[in-house]
Structure 1
Amino acid sequence: MLRFGRVAAMGTVTALILIAGVWASWGTAQHVLLTKGREQGTVEVSRCGEGSCSGPYSPVSSGSQTRERVVIEDSVAVAEGRTYSVVVKPGGEDVVRSGPAGMLYAWVPLGGALLLASVVVAGGLRLTRAAWGMAGAGVALLTAAFFAV
């Protein structure tokens, strides 16, 4: 009975960690993965400050409009004076990076969740092979994102 309780509790914790990782990633990843019907283009970052960068937007997709200013999140993936391919979030002037670098960067929270969940799987569920697989997938995702950005 005690073993069942441990397995159920650790399984629940693992599931919650992974769901939280997907949830945190999906907010950005949905715009990068589901691009059909969304405005796509490039932004030349001209100014950064207080957690966001901005610059003029040049459309690439049909139906997209030129904008004088769009806002992209200021992160390690964005530098002033550089041009990035982006997707416009619906209903505003916010954009997210697109392409392979944007896709990998969007899934970084899931990579962290995989690493954290692997510790729970190894220690709480005592499934070392599954834990090593999860940790390897997390490290691969974070490493790929690091080099792509």
Structure 2
Amino acid sequence: MPSAVSSSRGPSAVLRLGRFAVMGAVTVLILVAGVWASWGTAQYVMLTKGRERGAVAVESCGGRVCAGPYSPVSPGSQPRAEVVLEDNAAVAQGRTYAVVMKPGGIEAVRSGPAGVLYAWVPLGGALMLASVVVAGGLLRTRAAWAMGLSGVALVTVAFLVV
């Protein structure tokens, strides 16, 4: 006849395994969402071969975008009277920025180190959020610290460079 101690280990082990599986899935989901959100912009900034590159002199900002004329740098790129950049803390009226054009439109994305770092900021936030799940749900404090500090470092460096 099994004792009370040995029979209680079964459900406890199943609950631990279930918690590990669910928290692991939540962590992966958060990180995939961070990469997905970052890749929407990062692909243009990091994979510039064959894309139109140039500079935008920001003349006006309003709403959520800033606009200005586009001067091409890459071969085959055409000048444009007006392209738009996302209006954020990194874009100021009266300044000129190196950009990469998104295909088939008038939307530009900042390029260079500032553009790359800014594009990966959503991943930095996801790393910080996932670190809480890893620490609390998976009880992996070292991994959580590494993830959290990586996220903080990415966001901080992006803020300083941009």
| TM-score normalised per structure 2 | 0.91
Counterparts of 1:76-95 in structure 2, within 5 Å, are 76-95=89-108
- What's the CA shift for 1:136? 1.2
Counterparts of 1:14-25 in structure 2, within 5 Å, are 14-25=27-38
CA distance in 1, matches of 2:45, 2:159: 17
Partner of 1:126: 139
Q: Which consecutive residues of structure 1, in runs of 5 or more, have no partner in the other structure?
A: none
Q: Does 1:44 align with 2:57?
A: yes
- What's the CA shift for 1:85? 0.3
Q: Does 1:58 align with 2:86?
A: no
| Structure 1 ranges of 4+ moved more than 6 A | none
Secondary structure of the corresponding residue to residue 92 of structure 2? coil
Partner of 1:139: 152
Partner of 2:124: 111
For residue 24 of structure 2, what is the amino acid of its counterpart? G
Partner of 2:8: none
For residue 43 of structure 1, what is the amino acid of its counterpart? V
For residue 40 of structure 1, what is the amino acid of its counterpart? R
Q: Percent identity?
A: 71
Q: C-alpha offsets along residues 79-129 of structure 1, whole Å, 9 cap, x if unaligned?
A: 100100000000001000000000000000000000000000000000000
Number of matched residues? 149
CA distance in 2, matches of 1:106, 1:79: 18
For residue 161 of structure 2, what is the amino acid of its counterpart? A
Counterparts of 1:24-39 in structure 2, within 5 Å, are 24-39=37-52
Q: Does 1:148 align with 2:161?
A: yes
Secondary structure of the corresponding residue to residue 109 of structure 2? strand
Q: Does 1:68 align with 2:119?
A: no
For residue 106 of structure 2, what is the amino acid of its counterpart? E
CA distance in 2, matches of 1:37, 1:29: 15
**Which protein is bigger by CA-based radius of gyration?**
2
Secondary structure of the corresponding residue to residue 2 of structure 1? helix
CA distance in 1, matches of 2:148, 2:130: 8
